[in-house]
Amino acid sequence: MNAAATSHALPGVKLPELTTSKFNHNSSVHTCKASGNSNSTVSNLQKLKLDEPIKNIGLAGKRFCSVGVCTHPLSETESDSHVEDEKVGVLLLNLGGPETLVDVQPFLYNLFADPDIIRLPRLFRFLQRPLAQIISVLRARKSKEAYASIGGGSPLRKITDEQASALKSELEAKKLPANVYIAMRYWHPFTEEAAQQIKSDGITRLVVLPLYPQFSISTTGSSIRALQNIFREDKVLSKLPVAIIQSWYQRYGYIKSMADLIEEELLSFNRPQEVMIFFSAHGVPETYVVDAGDPYKYQMEECIDLIMQELKARGIENNHRLAYQSRVGPVQWLKPYTDEVLVQLGQQGVKSLLAVPVSFVSEHIETLEEIDMEYKELALKSGVENWGRVPALGCTTSFIADLADAVIEALPSATAMSASSSPLISSSSSQEFKRDPVGYAMKIFVGSFLAFILLLSPRMLSAFRKPVV
């Protein structure tokens, strides 16, 4: 689906133009190190306030797009483009995961306590932590079973450490020595830990690189919001020039790396040309896109278009589908759903299917358990006879080389964040209390009662028991 077909879901947002015709298909490929390049694309995307719907944000600041990478400064201060003699840092953002079964329940609590994961109405936000505690307890048992099935914990920390090490080596090879840090959103090392290490090491210029190709409020957005809050409250960090790479799904190095993996896995089938390429992306609630203006759906669809165009340029004409996995709760999520599409494909006579986890660059619970076990079993029961799965990118050399290029390109746009910047958290609740304390108290009481009844409903309880994280 092209941009025009999906832009109606993003009111008030000007998104990057398609760069499909701008890829340089003559980029050199090396055995151990490869880099992908494309022509520069510049868009006047406006600064993203992560605590408000995108369509309602205040328009301030600039955003820089270079070779499919969108970055934005944390303030309007212009920075010196010369980075010689700087002490450069790169901060990798990721979700995090429980490393042992004991970690599962507190990890789930951290996840559901995030207002970007469970977006309660403003009236109910005081219930965020109590709800997170209840949900994490209800889901802990099933989630522990899922993690036990993949070895007793998430491999995400180990893989991210390996990616950080590979990126550091690649940057050094490209003549940019840099310290590479990791900030996990819901488990160790937390964003606060990484920020203190950056401060302790005396970093003078920082590039923030989320390990999510596409931007979503619930992933990159949540991590950036946490980072901004920490930096703005620290006198030293608030002055540190920072460039944030918000998305990089359009980069040819990434697209090429994905196409390489798909092409390789297709060859494992007896009849590669008959294989359905099945992209399974992590889902988000539909309201994120429709009401909050989350660009995730648009970016995901464009990403799939770019990958398929690259495959077609290689003579690979396989049919493909995109679906969304990992939905939870009684609300509508992005459709079509992975489990439903797998059943449909089996009923339609699809015999060979190659699953592609397109949201993820590291193996974790959603690839190792949900795709490799749950969805594989469902597909085979539905009539699919030949199942394959593309591995996550991990430390693929062409992928790491392109991330290094993205860091180098983003570095000159780094600007300092002012400690006096406007707060991210709205104070409308406190203002409402001052205007009408009695009415506000009644709203809280009624809201608490309704939320309690909703939480205890059988539908809600059954939904929250689904082990997707």
**CATH number of the domain encompassing residue 308:** 3.40.50.1400
Q: Quick one: which of 254, 92, 50, 321 has its CA closest to 185?
A: 92
Residue 5 pLDDT level (bands cut at 50, 70, 90): very low
- What is the value of pTM for the model shown? 0.76
Residues in the chain: 469
Q: Is residue 102 one of the residues assigned to a domain?
A: yes
pLDDT for 389: 98
Are 28 and 34 contacting, i.e. CB atoms less than 8 angstroms apart?
yes
C-alpha–C-alpha distance, residues 319 and 278, integer Å:
9
Question: Are the C-beta atoms of residues 95 and 183 closer than 8 Å to each other?
Answer: no
Residue 122 sits in the same domain as residue 244: yes
Determine whether 84 is exposed, middle or buried from the number of CB atoms within 10 Å of its CB (0-12, 13-18, 19+): exposed
Predicted local confidence at residue 266, as pLDDT? 98
Domain boundary among 372, 389, 406: 389
Residues 380 and 231 in one domain: no
* Residue 298: other Cβ atoms inside 10 A: 24
Tens of pLDDT, residues 28-43: 322 233 333 333 332 3
- Average pLDDT value for the chain: 79
Nearest-angstrom CA–CA distance, 239 and 168: 24
194 pLDDT tier (thresholds 50, 70, 90): very high
- What SS3 class is residue 11? coil
Asked whether residue 241 is assigned to any structural domain, the reply reads yes
Do 218 and 241 share a structural domain? yes
Predicted local confidence at residue 59, as pLDDT? 23
Residue 385: inside a domain, yes or no?
yes
Domain residue limits at 123: 88-249+397-416
Question: 416 vs 42, 44, 112, CA distance in Å?
Answer: 22, 20, 31
Are 94 and 202 within one domain? yes
Give the pLDDT band of residue 51 (cuts 50, 70, 90).
very low
- 263 and 362 within one domain: yes
Please indicate, yes or no, whether residues 274 and 239 belong to a single structural domain of this protein: no
Q: Are residues 220 and 310 in the same domain?
A: no
CA distances in angstroms from 22 to 82, 183, 281, 307, 312, listed in the order given: 28, 33, 25, 14, 15
> 221 with 322, same domain?
no
Please tell me whether residues 308 and 245 are part of one structural domain.
no
pLDDT tens digits, 420-460: 343 333 333 344 445 555 554 554 444 444 444 444 444 44
> Does some domain include residue 239?
yes
Total domains present in the chain = 2
Q: In angstroms, what is the C-alpha Rg of the chain?
A: 22
Quick one: 121 and 209 in the same domain? Answer: yes
**Same domain for 259 and 239:** no
Instruction: List pLDDT tens digits, range 379-411.
Output: 999 999 999 999 999 999 999 999 999 999 999
342 in the same domain as 226: no
Q: What is the mean pLDDT of residues 45-68?
A: 34
Least confident of 11-15, 271-275, 285-289: 11-15
**Residue 230 placed within a domain:** yes
Whether 343 has a pLDDT exceeding 60, the answer reads yes
Do 141 and 361 touch, CB atoms closer than 8 A?
A: no
Nearest of 14, 51, 1 to residue 300 by alpha carbon? 1
Q: Is residue 200 part of a domain?
A: yes
